[in-house]
Amino acid sequence: MTDETQTPAHKGWEPLPAETLPRPNFFPAGLAMGTTFIFWGLITSWVILAVGVGLFVASLAGWIYEILRERRHQ
């Protein structure tokens, strides 16, 4: 726990401003996995390609929804 009135540790340093961090989620990993399945499906089977496209679209939609929801709360 840092105190905002505390002096900087070194000359010329300033304390960091208070920021809220975004909530962690799995959408970037899902997007990467969907991309992998898409390329793997192009080489092997249309079923894997369809799974990759579905995973990619679902992860992208979820990530966009999280960004919009986060901006609405600010």
**Predicted structure pTM score:** 0.71
* Dihedrals phi, psi of 22, to nearest 5 degrees: -65, 150
* CA count, 13 A, side-chain hemisphere, 58: 11
pLDDT at 2 exceeding the cut of 60? no
Residue 23 binned pLDDT confidence (cut-offs 50, 70, 90): confident
Angle among Cα 24, 30, 19 to the nearest 5 degrees reads 20
Q: Give, as one character, the DSSP assignment of residue 7.
A: P
Provide the mean pLDDT of the chain: 87
Q: Which residue has the tokens 């092997």?
A: 44
Q: Which one-letter DSSP state was computed for residue 14?
A: -
Which pLDDT value is given to residue 24?
Answer: 87
Lowest mean pLDDT across 32-36, 42-46, 50-54, 65-69: 65-69
